[in-house]
Amino acid sequence: MITLLLLALALAMDAFAVSLAQGASVRPGMRGAARLALAFGVAQAVMPLAGWALGIAFAGLIEAVDHWIAFVLLGAIGLKMVREGLAPEEADAPPAAPLGGGALLMAAIATSIDAAAAGVTLPTIGSPVALAVAVIGIVTAVLCFAGALLGARIGARIGKPAEIAGGLVLIGLGCRILAQHMGWLG
């Protein structure tokens, strides 16, 4: 369960960072924060399910190397998140506009692409898939709700560190999965 919670937290960091930025720039109320939370939470739950389904479709081909796939995918996703978290802010970037309709849908999908890739790795963490996608979705929704409200209070200063932390957690999970399947952890 700890591995699942760490995976959910790490996958939620992109959406959390967007929610913080939205909170800082548009200061949504409870209703706006709930809308963000619902959109990001649903997307983060659906995308790993899609990734898992693709993994099942090709299970015979990947069963012998699933731990390597998890290691590479989670590591690559984590490195991408760390790199984006370390990238300098664009000084002339326009202020964020409230996300609504199509923009909110696109942001939810964009921040959950990583979750689709991570979904392929769900069988390696040992939790039922339904539980895993529910935990990922709920954790994301809770973090995004809190992130939007927190962003309204303190600004987006912690968005980049949150993204870096999420990336490092994903890299660590990938290493742990590989180590377990290779017998390095005993």
Residue 84's nearest CA partner among 174, 16, 167, 169 is 167
Most confident of 10-24, 66-80, 137-151: 137-151
The arithmetic mean of pLDDT across residues 50-59, rounded, is: 82
What whole-number percentage of the chain has pLDDT above 90? 21
pLDDT score of 92: 58
Residue 44's nearest CA partner among 129, 123, 140 is 140
pLDDT in tens, 109-167: 877 877 887 888 787 788 888 999 999 999 999 999 999 999 888 765 666 777 687 67
pLDDT at residue 9 greater than cutoff 60:
yes
pLDDT score of 157: 63
The verdict on pTM exceeding 0.95 is no
Report how far apart, in Å, the C-alpha atoms of 101 and of each of 40, 69, 105, 176 are: 13, 35, 6, 39
Residue 172 exposed, middle or buried by CB count within 10 Å (0-12, 13-18, 19+): middle
pLDDT at residue 13 greater than cutoff 80:
yes
Helix H, strand E, coil C: the string for the chain is CHHHHHHHHHHHHHHHHHHHHHHHHHCCCHHHHHHHHHHHHHHHHHHHHHHHHHHHHCHHHHHHHHHHHHHHHHHHHHHHHHHHHHCCCCCCCCCCCCCCHHHHHHHHHHHHHHHHHHHCCHHHHCCCHHHHHHHHHHHHHHHHHHHHHHHHHHCCCCHHHHHHHHHHHHHHHHHHHHHHHHCCCC
Residues 6+ apart with CB under 8 A from 163: 13, 14, 17, 81, 82, 84, 85
pLDDT score of 138: 97
The mean pLDDT value of the chain amounts to 82
pLDDT in tens, 131-147: 999 999 999 999 999 99
